[in-house]
Amino acid sequence: MNKQQAQRPSPLMLLLEPGRAVLSLAAYALLRPMLQTLPKGDGHPVIVLPGFMANDYSTAIMRNFLKEQGYAAYGWFQGNNLGNYDRIEPILHKQILRLYQQHKQKVSLIGWSLGGVFARDMARQMPDKIRQVITLGSPFGNLTTQHYASFIFELIHNKKVADLDPELLERLQGQVPSVPTTAIYSKSDGVVSWEFCKDETDGHQNENIEVLGSHVGLGHNPMVLACLADRLSQPEDHWQPFKNSELSKNFKDWGVYQR
């Protein structure tokens, strides 16, 4: 299916999101000992950006996991993500610069849903400070249609997403960043259309990874956390696609990784 044929997730999938997210949490608790055997990190800084209407509490499990894996994981410290990028953008810019200077290492960005859209734009602006970008269910291919969050944005801001500044929309839906970029998505996403959460094709340093799971549960989905550990553990400037990794082969054996 191409993006022109993309449809909004069914109402049933949306209703099932909370229950499926709880199942992902249970799976995380069950598989946590296995996750702790994944490759450890080199201590470089990682900023995790939450999704629309969410805050740093929503990414706490993910950040704690990353800290256990050996990364300096940070929230974004900006409260709820209300989509007001004009306010968020300069603060993110300063945070990335501060962590780059503090750790003397490039910063990796992980963005969940709308947070991933912002993360990709920051990587386009600051490629010399960003090590890699990983998005989780982020509809960077189209922000204006086929998403259930649109009406909430309209209620908060009293305007439609499509009525935002055209130049800003074009930026946020822009080309693949020039840094290594991984787009993780689920075809059973009940909030956003999965077709808009992936790049058209894989490139020499960008890739799409499909996992099984809900949108709300992506932050503690064991398969997502395993992908994060694998992607972040790569040596700087030696990025290789996930399909070449040992973890990818295991995913295929388990039947949970599909392309």
Token pair 């295991």 is at which residue? 250
What is the pLDDT, as a whole number, of residue 76?
A: 96
- Give yes or no for a contact between 109 and 47, defined as CB atoms under 8 angstroms apart: yes
Checking if the pLDDT of 255 tops 50, the result is no
Checking if the pLDDT of 51 tops 70, the result is yes
Residue 53, in any domain of the structure: yes
Token pair in block for residue 75: 């929230």
Residue with more model confidence, 243 or 131: 131
pLDDT tens across 111-120, in order? Answer: 999 999 999 9
- Give yes or no for a contact between 114 and 138, defined as CB atoms under 8 angstroms apart: yes
- Give yes or no for a contact between 75 and 137, defined as CB atoms under 8 angstroms apart: no
Residue 259, in any domain of the structure: no
Residue 57, in any domain of the structure: yes
pLDDT tens across 201-239, in order? Answer: 888 899 999 999 999 999 999 999 999 999 999 999 899
In Å, what is the CA distance from 111 to each residue of 37, 75, 81?
24, 11, 11
What is the pLDDT, as a whole number, of residue 106?
A: 98
What is the pLDDT, as a whole number, of residue 101?
A: 98
Residue with more model confidence, 2 or 86: 86
What is the pLDDT, as a whole number, of residue 3?
A: 58
Mean pLDDT of 46-52: 96
Confidence of residue 2 (pLDDT cuts 50, 70, 90): low
Strand partners for 133: 109, 181
- pLDDT above 90: percentage of residues in the chain: 69
What is the pLDDT, as a whole number, of residue 254?
A: 52
- Domain with 35 in it: 3-254
- pLDDT above 70: percentage of residues in the chain: 93
Mean pLDDT of 84-106: 96
Mean pLDDT of 45-50: 98
Q: How far apart are CA 72 and CA 64, in angstroms?
A: 10
Checking if the pLDDT of 258 tops 70, the result is no
Checking if the pLDDT of 71 tops 70, the result is yes
pLDDT tens across 16-27, in order? Answer: 999 999 999 999
Q: Residue 98's domain is classified under what CATH number?
A: 3.40.50.1820
> What is the pLDDT of the chain when averaged over all its residues?
89
Checking if the pLDDT of 259 tops 50, the result is no
Residue 30, in any domain of the structure: yes
Token pair 């790569």 is at which residue? 234
Checking if the pLDDT of 136 tops 60, the result is yes
Tell me the DSSP string of the chain. Answer: --GGG--PPPHHHHHHHHHHHHHHHHHHHHHHHHHTTSPP----EEEEE--BT--GGGGHHHHHHHHHTT-EEE---S-SB-S-HHHHHHHHHHHHHHHHHHHTSPEEEEEETHHHHHHHHHHHH-TTTEEEEEEES--TT-SSSSBTTHHHHHHHHSS-GGGS-HHHHHHHT-PPPSS-EEEEE-TT-SSB-GGGGS-SS--SSEEEEE--S-STTGGG-HHHHHHHHHHHTSPTT----GGGSHHHHHHHHHT--B-
**Tally of domains in the chain:** 1
What is the pLDDT, as a whole number, of residue 221?
A: 96
Determine if residue 77 is left, alpha or beta; phi over 0 gives left, psi from -120 to 50 gives alpha, anything else beta: left
What is the pLDDT, as a whole number, of residue 155?
A: 66
